[in-house]
C-alpha cells in the first residue's frame, strides 16, 4: 500500500433490496476515511434498486442475475481502489469502519491481507456477533471473518476472488480459507463496526447440519490444511467418510 491515504472501493452487490440500499450507500459514503469510491452492482433486480442507486454519486454496474459471488467479483474488476470492502445491500457500516480497519492492517505484518471486526445485529434481533483474533485454529474451525472485511486488492486478486462454485453463505468462508492456504492472514479489530440487518431474508448463522456440510467440503477441498488435524481426531474423520452430509 502507498503512504498516501489509499483509495478504498466499497462494493455493494444488490438483488431486490431497494428498500435497504439507500441506507447502505449512505453509510458507505459517510466514512471518516474520505478517499473512498462506492460501487453498486445490481444483480438483475426486478425492484427499484437501480433507481435508488442512481440517486447517489456512486458507480452503478448492472448485470443479469448471477449471484452474489459474481456480483462482488464484477465490482472488484471495475474498482479503482487498492483495497476492497464488500458490503451487502441490507447491511450498514459504522462511520469509522474503514479508518479503524486500515489502521489495524497498516500496523500488521506482511502476511496480513485483510482486517475484520465484530458485527452488531439490528432489526428483528439485537446483539453482537462475537469474533476473535485471527489464528489457524479459528480460521479452519469456523467462519470468524465476515464478508465485509477490508481486504487488499493484491491478495484478493492473487486468491482469485469469490468462487462461484460455492453456495450462497459459504463463498466468503471458502475465500478466507483459500487465502490462508496461500499464506495470507487477517487482523482483528475488536469493535462491532458492521451493522448486520436481521430480517426475513437475512443470511443468518448456519445451522448445525449446514456447518457440518461446509466442514466436509472444506476438508476435501483443502486436504493439506485439514487432514493433519483430522488424523488426530479419527472419530470425526470416520464420520465424514461414512456419511458425508448433503451439500
Residues 111 and 216 in one domain: no
DSSP assignment string, 99-167? HHHHHHHHTS-TTEEEEEEEEEEEES--EEE------HHHHHHS--S-TT-EEEHHHHHHHTSS-TTS-
Is the residue at 2 inside a domain?
no
Is the residue at 3 inside a domain?
no
What 3-state DSSP class applies to 11?
A: strand
Q: What are phi and psi for residue 114, nearest 5 degrees? A: -155, 155
Residues 58 and 161 in one domain: yes
Residues 240 and 138 in one domain: no
Give the residue among 35, 17, 28 at the shortest CA–CA distance from 71: 17
Which of 5-19, 108-122, 137-151, 192-206 is the least confident region? 192-206
Is the residue at 190 inside a domain?
yes
Residues 20 and 70 in one domain: yes
**Interatomic CA distance for residues 225 and 187, integer angstroms:** 20
pLDDT surpassing 50 at residue 244 = no
Residues 196 and 213 in one domain: no
pLDDT (0 to 100) of residue 125: 74
Beta bridge partners of 150: 85, 115
pLDDT surpassing 60 at residue 102 = yes
Is the residue at 23 inside a domain?
yes
Instruction: Kindly provide the b/e burial profile for residues 28-43, where b requires at least 16 CB atoms within 10 angstroms of the residue's own CB.
Output: bbebebeebbbbbbbb
Is the residue at 216 inside a domain?
yes
Give the residue among 132, 225, 238, 133 at the shortest CA–CA distance from 177: 225
Residues 96 and 218 in one domain: no
Chain mean pLDDT for the chain: 87
Q: What is the DSSP letter of 51?
A: H
**Interatomic CA distance for residues 69 and 49, integer angstroms:** 18
Is the residue at 225 inside a domain?
yes
Q: What angle do CA 155, 217, 89 make, to 5 degrees?
A: 55
Domain of 149 in residue numbering reads as 8-205
CATH code, 123 = 3.90.550.10
Segment holding 239, helix H or strand E: helix 234-242
Instruction: Name 13's Cβ contacts closer than 8 Å, sequence gap at least 6.
Output: 41, 43, 68, 71, 72, 75, 86, 88, 89
Residues 167 and 108 in one domain: yes
Instruction: Name 230's Cβ contacts closer than 8 Å, sequence gap at least 6.
Output: 219, 236, 237, 240
Parallel, antiparallel, or unpaired: how do β-strands 59-63 and 150-152 relate? unpaired
pLDDT digits (tens, 9 = 90+) for 178-226: 999 999 999 999 999 999 988 765 555 556 677 677 777 888 888 888 7
Residues 103 and 145 in one domain: yes
Residues 211 and 191 in one domain: no
Residues 64 and 114 in one domain: yes
Stretch 66-84: mean pLDDT? 98
Is the residue at 246 inside a domain?
yes
pLDDT surpassing 50 at residue 247 = no
What 3-state DSSP class applies to 12?
A: strand
Q: Copy the grid coordinates of residue 142.
A: 469456523
Residues 147 and 230 in one domain: no
- Quote the pTM value: 0.87
Is the residue at 128 inside a domain?
yes
Which of 79-88, 114-123, 208-217, 232-241 is the least confident region? 232-241
Number of domains in the chain: 2
Residues 67 and 136 in one domain: yes
Give the residue among 73, 60, 69, 63 at the shortest CA–CA distance from 43: 63
Amino acid at each position: 500500500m502507498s503512504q498516501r491515504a489509499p483509495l478504498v472501493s466499497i462494493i455493494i452487490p444488490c438483488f431486490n433490496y431497494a428498500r435497504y440500499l439507500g441506507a447502505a450507500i449512505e453509510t458507505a459514503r459517510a466514512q471518516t476515511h474520505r478517499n473512498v469510491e462506492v460501487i453498486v452492482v445490481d444483480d438483475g433486480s426486478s425492484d427499484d434498486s437501480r433507481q435508488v442507486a442512481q440517486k447517489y454519486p456512486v458507480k452503478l454496474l448492472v448485470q443479469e442475475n448471477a449471484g452474489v459471488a459474481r456480483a462482488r467479483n464484477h465490482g472488484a474488476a471495475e474498482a479503482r481502489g487498492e483495497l476492497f470492502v464488500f458490503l451487502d445491500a441490507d447491511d450498514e457500516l459504522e462511520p469509522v469502519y474503514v479508518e479503524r480497519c486500515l489502521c489495524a492492517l497498516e500496523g500488521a505484518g506482511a502476511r496480513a491481507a485483510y482486517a475484520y471486526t465484530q458485527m452488531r445485529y439490528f432489526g428483528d434481533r439485537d446483539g453482537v456477533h462475537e469474533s476473535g483474533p485471527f489464528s489457524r485454529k479459528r480460521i479452519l474451525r469456523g467462519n470468524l471473518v465476515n464478508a465485509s472485511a477490508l481486504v487488499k486488492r493484491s491478495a484478493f486478486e492473487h486468491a482469485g476472488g469469490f468462487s462461484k462454485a460455492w453456495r450462497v453463505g459459504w463463498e466468503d468462508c471458502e475465500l478466507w480459507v483459500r487465502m490462508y492456504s496461500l499464506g495470507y492472514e487477517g487482523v482483528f479489530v475488536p469493535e462491532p463496526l458492521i451493522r448486520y440487518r436481521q430480517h426475513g431474508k437475512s443470511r443468518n448463522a448456519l445451522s448445525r447440519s449446514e456447518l457440518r456440510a461446509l466442514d466436509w467440503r472444506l476438508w476435501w477441498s483443502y486436504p493439506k490444511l485439514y487432514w493433519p488435524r483430522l488424523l488426530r481426531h479419527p472419530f470425526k474423520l470416520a464420520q465424514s467418510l461414512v456419511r458425508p452430509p448433503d451439500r
